Amino acid sequence: MAAFFGLIVNPYMTSSIAAPANARLTTEQRVQALLAKMTLAEKIGQMSQLNASDGHAPDYLGDDLRAGRIGSVLNVVDVDVVNELQRIAVEESRLGIPLMVGRDVIHGFKTVMPIPLGQAATWNPDIVEANARAAALEAATTGVNWTFAPMIDISRDARWGRIAESLGEDAFLASELAAAMVRGYQGEDLSAKGSIAACAKHFAGYGASESGRDYATTNIPENELRNVYLPPFKSAVDAGVVTLMASFSDLDGVPATANEFLMRQVLREEWQFDGFVVSDWNSVRQLSVHGLTANDRDAAFEAATAGVDMEMAGDAYISHLEALVSEGRVDIETIDTAAANILRAKFRLGLFEHPYTDPADLPPIASKEALQTAKNAALQSVVMLKNDHDTLPLNAETMSSIALIGPLADAPYEQLGTWIFDGDPELSVTPMHAIHSLVGHELDVRYVRAMKNSRSRASEAFDEAVEIASDSDVAVLFLGEESILSGEAHSRADISLPGDQAELVRRIRATGKPVIAVILAGRPLTLTNIVDQVDAILFAWHPGTMGGPAIADLLFGVESPSGKLPATFPRMVGQIPIYYNQKNTGKPPTPDTVVHIDDIDAHAPQLSTGMTAFHLDAGYTPLFPFGHGLSYASFEYGDIRVSVEEIGLGETVTISAELTNSGDVAAEEVVQLYVRDLVGNVTRPVRELKGFRRVRVEPGQTVRVEFDLHTDDLAFYGRNMTLMTEPGEFHAWIGGSSDAELRTEFRIAASK
């Protein structure tokens, strides 16, 4: 008990009998007061998270809860079971410490938003924050108070199944959206009902898995790690993320789960993070599979010493840490720090004041607001990759029939995408149903599935598809990948359209009708074999519960597409890794240096052709670049300006350009600012995203879009691994894609 100012205050009394937290006691005082009460076993108990994935959890976890051997559970989403687990922990254990209750609420709970890669395609932090907020409110009704999101691993490899779960290839875009997700999940008041702890994962470098195979080795030079892979995590920490999750992956020979450089030097010493780190699923014991340790005891030693505070779904900590402390291999300070980090999160979440959940305190599942949020996100996530002859938007008034063809036109589960443990396909509105609702009263809407699924190689139903296409005014093909083809452990070596989809496209093209492809997928695909066979492409990712209405509105021009690519689309998988912010190299390719196999005389001397960084069979450019996305409006950029040609260190330059909508429909454009540092202490990318803004422009309207750029925004880690901005020359572009051509210059003076 602690007596302050004459008040007898039990610093950790629980909600059932607790006096309200005394405002004079800081969180830290409460943490330390409780820690001082705890036995070593109870401290280690807080460091242990167990799977409680069925309704009988209170039966098999009850005794461990009463003994204080469990600090967290995951994968239980029955509010009655969660409340019972909390009740046992709070009212039947010695110290009554509530549980963190974790769940992967990655892009929605029952109402599912677009996959995170699709959310990234909105380039809209407000939409991304709203999505996370809606997800938190739904998850919290079940007693979940912790999500294992945002996943913010930078990925430049579309073979990697988890690119679906990521925010794409760019550190700046991912950093902005990571902070938005943290704000959405955690709310303005972390202790408020409906706010849940976020978890920035997977720390760090997981997206660089060799060959895109999940869990594979990553080798990332520290300079690249600091300039590319770490910034989104720093952004999440600066946004107040409560937890981080260690990655499964081996980083330069030391798996992240045992990587002291990451967990202590970067996270604690440099970033001053005071939340807690959870391992990935059983990743502590997997240190012995990696071959870093010989057994669970050594694995527990390495992970705890490195700074992983809680073990997810493993028993190395609970089985070995007490002995490791007794034999002096692990300091008690290590345990105290880990337990304190976890308790701090619990106090911040208000769990000691309100450990129990009453769903009536929160909005209902699938509320009108949540569904509208899901639709808004889907609308802004779809990227129009091409639109020849203004094939889109369709005008129902000038048509009489439409053919919908393909396995993903009416796939309520598949459109939800990967990582939707709790997604409810019953809530899904598919494109087919949405199109019927939108235009079925004035158009004859025909539908043929044509393929059992995207991987099917049986084409016997193609004839029927060709028949309805031939007899309709337009054919809309719904192609892509089912949910199972991306996500964890679901990488692909060939990222073209699976199965016989390309043949189906060819057959429908042969009808001579306008052909539109709507593609649902969990990754960028190599579309080279169909891109010239269709007149327009809407790339919809896996758009979630309201993907259908969003696609219907975009097809028929109720709204204009406005998404922009968050990841590069290669021409061929052999180009990977391919990304926009590459280094120039000493022999950069240009159109006139590229040599194509069919141009080469077999006798040409090897050293007389090309001599720059390209592929003979693919060139060096992607099919569609990062930032690309078309609109029904006609956007033109002009009159790019700098506020001043030279600034000193610590000063700001404003870079602006005019954006004109010369089209006849109003639409939103994501205006992008890219900068190149021409000479650096280490080589710098040929351009880097440094700003973006979504603006709505009316037909005939011209707006000037401005970006303020401080010299700190141009900082990078140099050879000595310190953050630096150097004087020198800079180029800047403003446009609607990473291949924007409108350019200006400015410089940072050596001293001013």
Residue 257 or 560: which CB sits closer to ligand GLC? 257
User: What is the DSSP annotation of 259-286?
Assistant: -HIIIIIIIIIIT---SEEE--TTTTTT
Find the shortest distance in angstroms from Cβ 454 to ligand GLC. Answer: 24
Find the shortest distance in angstroms from Cβ 420 to ligand GLC. Answer: 12
CA distances from 382 to 63, 220, 419, 490 (A): 50, 32, 19, 23
Mask for 152-171, x = binds ligand GLC (CB under 6 A)? --------------------
For ligand GLC (CB under 6 A), the number of binding residues is: 6
Residue 174 or 642: which CB sits closer to ligand GLC? 174
User: For residue 359, what are its two tokens?
Assistant: 């769903």
Mask for 172-211, x = binds ligand GLC (CB under 6 A)? -----------------------------x----------
Residue 294 CA to its chain's centroid (Å): 34
Strand partners, 85: none
Which one of residues 148, 203, 462, 614 is an interface residue with ligand GLC (CB under 6 A)? Answer: 148
Find the shortest distance in angstroms from Cβ 396 to ligand GLC. Answer: 43
Find the shortest distance in angstroms from Cβ 244 to ligand GLC. Answer: 12
d(CA 599, CA 87): 74
d(CA 225, CA 632): 39
CA distances from 278 to 102, 435, 534 (A): 11, 44, 47
User: For residue 219, what are its two tokens?
Assistant: 């080798």
Within 13 Å of residue 686, how many CA atoms lie on the same side as its CB? 15
Residue 153 or 677: which CB sits closer to ligand GLC? 153
Mask for 476-515, x = binds ligand GLC (CB under 6 A)? ------------x---------------------------
Find the shortest distance in angstroms from Cβ 104 to ligand GLC. Answer: 5
Residue 168 or 314: which CB sits closer to ligand GLC? 314
Find the shortest distance in angstroms from Cβ 280 to ligand GLC. Answer: 5
**Is the backbone peptide bond immediately before 628 cis, with ω within 30 degrees of 0?**
no
CA distances from 201 to 103, 157, 587, 616, 703 (A): 13, 18, 36, 38, 38
Which of the residues 346 through 375 are near ligand GLC (CB under 6 A)? none
User: For residue 634, what are its two tokens?
Assistant: 């006609």
User: What is the DSSP annotation of 381-406?
Assistant: H-EEEEEGGG-PSP-GGG-SEEEEES
Determine the 3-state secondary structure of 66 from DSSP. helix
Residue 3 or 489: which CB sits closer to ligand GLC? 489
Which of the residues 89 through 118 are near ligand GLC (CB under 6 A)? 104
Q: At what angle do helices 368-381 and 125-140 cross, to 10 degrees?
A: 140
Q: State the burial class of residue 601 (Cβ atoms within 10 Å of its Cβ: 0-12, 13-18, 19+).
A: exposed
Residue 116 or 622: which CB sits closer to ligand GLC? 116
Mask for 241-280, x = binds ligand GLC (CB under 6 A)? ---------------------------------------x
Say whether residue 214 binds ligand GLC (CB under 6 A).
no
User: For residue 500, what are its two tokens?
Assistant: 């016989």
Say whether residue 281 binds ligand GLC (CB under 6 A).
yes
Residue 280 or 309: which CB sits closer to ligand GLC? 280
Residue 218 or 562: which CB sits closer to ligand GLC? 218
Find the shortest distance in angstroms from Cβ 392 to ligand GLC. Answer: 37
Residue 201 or 509: which CB sits closer to ligand GLC? 201
Q: At which residue do the structure tokens 């609308």 appear?
A: 379
Find the shortest distance in angstroms from Cβ 148 to ligand GLC. Answer: 3
d(CA 197, CA 345): 8
Residue 75 or 372: which CB sits closer to ligand GLC? 75
Find the shortest distance in angstroms from Cβ 286 to ligand GLC. Answer: 10
d(CA 163, CA 160): 6
User: For residue 317, what are its two tokens?
Assistant: 């900590």
Mask for 430-469, x = binds ligand GLC (CB under 6 A)? ----------------------------------------
Q: What helix, strand, coil percent values describe the chain, rounded to 5? A: 30, 20, 50
CA distances from 503 to 145, 475, 494, 528, 726 (A): 48, 15, 16, 13, 53
- Walk across the sheet containing 652-661 and list its strands: 635-642, 652-661, 702-710
Q: Which residue is nearest to ligand GLC (CB)?
A: 148
Q: What are phi and psi of 9, to 5 degrees?
A: -120, 125
Residue 281 or 707: which CB sits closer to ligand GLC? 281
Find the shortest distance in angstroms from Cβ 70 to ligand GLC. Answer: 16
Residue 218 or 656: which CB sits closer to ligand GLC? 218
Sign of dihedral through CA atoms 308, 310, 313, 317?
positive
Find the shortest distance in angstroms from Cβ 140 to ligand GLC. Answer: 18
Find the shortest distance in angstroms from Cβ 155 to ligand GLC. Answer: 14
User: Which residues are part of the catalytic machinery?
Assistant: 280
DSSP assignment letter at 18: P
Closest Cα to residue 665, out of 696, 698, 702? 698
With helix as H, strand as E and coil as C, how does 413-437 read?
A: CHHHCCCCCCCCHHHCCCHHHHHHH
d(CA 725, CA 605): 45
Binding site for ligand GLC (CB under 6 A): 104, 148, 201, 280-281, 488
